[in-house]
Amino acid sequence: MSKTTRATQTLSKAGVGFETVTYDYDPNAERVGLQAAEAIGEEPHRVLKTLMAELDGKPVCVVVPSDREVSMKKLASAFGGKSAHMMKPADAERLTGYHVGGISPFGQKKQVPTAIEIAAMDEPLVYMNGGQRGLQVRLNPKDAQRALKAIVAPLIAD
Of the pLDDT bands very low, low, confident and very high (cuts 50, 70, 90), residue 3 is confident
- Beta bridge pairs of residue 128: 137
How far apart are alpha carbons 156 and 153 in whole angstroms?
9
Please give the model's pTM, rounded to 2 decimal places: 0.95
Average pLDDT over residues 10-16: 96
Closest by Cα among 54, 30, 50, 18 to 142: 18
pLDDT in tens, 66-102: 999 999 999 999 999 999 999 999 999 999 999 999 9
Whether the per-residue pLDDT at 2 is higher than 90: the answer is no
pLDDT in tens, 34-75: 999 999 999 999 999 999 999 999 999 999 999 999 999 999
Contact 85, 72 (CB under 8 A): yes
pLDDT number for residue 99: 95
Average pLDDT over residues 120-140: 97
Whether the per-residue pLDDT at 1 is higher than 80: the answer is no
